[in-house]
Structure 1
Amino acid sequence: MIQPRLQTFGDGFAARKVIAQAIDYVDGTHEIAHIHHRAQLVYATSGIVRAATPLGLWMLTPGNALLIGSQIEHELHMVGQVSMRTLYIEPDSLAPQKHECRVIPVGGLLRASILGMFDPAADEAGESRAELIVPLILRLLRDATEGVPAARLPLPANARLRRICESLIAQPASNDTLERWAERVGASSRTVARLFRQETGMSFGQWREQLRLAEAMSRLSVGQASARVAQDLGYADVRTFTVMFKRAFGSTPQQFLHLFRERLAD
């Protein structure tokens, strides 16, 4: 079994409560499984980031960030051109988390504070801007409510089921039957169906639908048209996609996009 890589920052950064790092990625870039001693706030100003841990998958757009706990194994997949502005946070500076990861809605103040960490300007007293911004960021993270619960999709631990899920994540438009997938991984369809419910709390069909809806939210959020989203995710037509989206989220894709843009502008 391959052990996840440990990423560190060296003694020169040890005294900092928050370390800021900016990286731009091309479409399809994959950060392999790794861990940090610090917590990590994953935020992208453009593009989509898929963050995966042993227990779950999150779809991140410019409207939300993911706070990954210290020592949590994770990997990142980039969809589109991604501008990452990520923060590595000393765990003792944060309130304890109930779960391994937490979705953080990114409003105007938090967004400006994160981006301010990458501005080297200093005030007249000679203090770096980061020293002023860090307490605000920590307070905003502490007070943030859980956002976009549908952005998380549970992932199974069973190796055969994991192979199926990873294939569907790569090709969410696939309409192959459970029987076909079970044959590919060398198991009976009954066994696969039972394990899906046991490990994810959903049937195979429900899990695939939730994957598609999470992908749809992400793609709409970065400006893809409903017709293209419907086609890319395997829906018969735009109407079918709209009906499924509204059933899941209580709004049409157009209404969702309008509300998303309003939240982003707050």
Structure 2
Amino acid sequence: MAQAKLQTFGDGVGARKVIPQSLDYASGSHEIAHIHHRAQLVYATRGIVRIMTPETLWIVTSDHALLIGSQVEHELHMLGEVSMRTLYIDPAALAEPEPRCRPIAPGELLRAALLDLCAAGADTAGARRAALLEPLILDLIDTAPGAPDAARLPLPADERLRQICTSLIAQAANNETLEEWAARVGASGRTIARHFRVETGLSFGQWREQLRMAEAMSRLAVGHAPADIARELGYADARTFAVMFRRASGVSPQQFLRREGASA
């Protein structure tokens, strides 16, 4: 990653245990690599947020929230128009301070409390409301169930592999071979293949397919049509995409959508 920028808060605001912020982004927006002294809860009410840490790519939609530990370097990329509601949390206020990242299923109560806190004004009435909501939110975060189905993908540390992965994340439809990528970064195909296995536990082909699968599930979850997703992810047609999706997930894109609708 590029050198991270440290983000801080003013003294008055910084005294609060939970600092809410509402942010709207145009499609394609990017927050450069940075760190906070606080933990950060990221939740998207609209659109998709890709969050890259040194070890992992996370893909966040309205189905999940991601709690990022304090001092964890991360950058954000927006897919589609994004409405993000985020909380900056004093690590000491959490029952177990997060050392890295934890995906959580927010549940209706946490979701409602988070949105209400972000909407509270800075006047006396808003301060009273925040004083009531903050301890509730902290308790709900501490007890929130994990989200094992949250989209994530391991990222390599090797700069050559990182360059390949970053390019594919930005353009998942790219179908260049491993040998073509290896030539681009100045290494042999055999060297790149070996390092992919060692650093991610996956072959190059498996990594790219898992990236496309994570992107596909995220895009389906926010209402993209399967035919559009097939084109955006580099598949010849919707049928080819559906075959890949079923092989990787055990269900068709339509069955995935019905299952997501039933669990919403």
TM-score between the two structures when normalised by the length of structure 2:
0.93
Residue 107 of structure 1 and its aligned partner are, at CA, apart by: 2.5
Map of 2:104 onto structure 1: 104
Coordinate RMSD, CA, aligned: 2.1
The C-alpha deviation readout for 1:61-89, integer Å capped at 9, x for no partner, is: 11111100000000000111111110001
Q: Is the 8 A contact 2:121 2:127 kept in 1?
A: no
The 1:178/1:52 distance shift into structure 2, 3 A limit, reads same
Map of 2:190 onto structure 1: 190
Q: Is the 8 A contact 2:20 2:87 kept in 1?
A: yes
Map of 1:254 onto structure 2: 254
Moved more, 93-102 or 193-202: 93-102
C-alpha distance in structure 2 between counterparts of 1:155 and 1:216, whole Å? 19
How many equivalent residue pairs?
Answer: 263
The amino acid of 1:215's aligned partner reads: E
C-alpha distance in structure 2 between counterparts of 1:132 and 1:3, whole Å? 38
Asked if 1:129 is matched to 2:94, the reply is: no
Map of 2:203 onto structure 1: 203
The amino acid of 2:232's aligned partner reads: D
Moved more, 135-144 or 16-25: 135-144
Map of 2:154 onto structure 1: 154
Map of 2:231 onto structure 1: 231
TM-score between the two structures when normalised by the length of structure 1:
0.92
Map of 2:167 onto structure 1: 167
Map of 1:44 onto structure 2: 44
The 1:257/1:107 distance shift into structure 2, 3 A limit, reads farther
C-alpha distance in structure 2 between counterparts of 1:58 and 1:17, whole Å? 25
Instruction: Give the match's secondary structure for 1:261.
Output: helix
The amino acid of 1:247's aligned partner reads: R
Residue 121 of structure 1 and its aligned partner are, at CA, apart by: 6.7
Asked if 1:144 is matched to 2:144, the reply is: yes
Residue 215 of structure 1 and its aligned partner are, at CA, apart by: 0.4
C-alpha distance in structure 2 between counterparts of 1:221 and 1:94, whole Å? 30
Residue 243 of structure 1 and its aligned partner are, at CA, apart by: 2.6
- Structure 1 segment 72-83 matched on structure 2, within 5 A: 72-83=72-83
Moved more, 97-106 or 208-217: 97-106
- Structure 1 segment 23-42 matched on structure 2, within 5 A: 23-42=23-42
Q: Is the 8 A contact 2:91 2:97 kept in 1?
A: no
The amino acid of 1:63's aligned partner reads: D
Q: Is the 8 A contact 1:105 1:148 kept in 2?
A: no
C-alpha distance in structure 1 between counterparts of 2:47 and 2:120, whole Å? 25
Runs of 4+, deviation exceeding 4 Å: 124-127
The C-alpha deviation readout for 1:195-233, integer Å capped at 9, x for no partner, is: 000100100000000000000011111100011111211
Residue 120 of structure 1 and its aligned partner are, at CA, apart by: 2.8
Structure 2 spans left out of the alignment, 5+ residues: none
Instruction: Give the match's secondary structure for 2:119.
Output: coil
Map of 2:11 onto structure 1: 11
The amino acid of 2:9's aligned partner reads: F
The amino acid of 2:13's aligned partner reads: F
C-alpha distance in structure 1 between counterparts of 2:75 and 2:236, whole Å? 32
The 1:237/1:201 distance shift into structure 2, 3 A limit, reads same
C-alpha distance in structure 2 between counterparts of 1:202 and 1:227, whole Å? 28
C-alpha distance in structure 2 between counterparts of 1:110 and 1:150, whole Å? 17
The amino acid of 1:114's aligned partner reads: L
The C-alpha deviation readout for 1:121-160, integer Å capped at 9, x for no partner, is: 79x9996212111222112211122214451101100000
Identity %: 64
Residue 23 of structure 1 and its aligned partner are, at CA, apart by: 1.1
The amino acid of 1:106's aligned partner reads: P
Map of 2:94 onto structure 1: 94
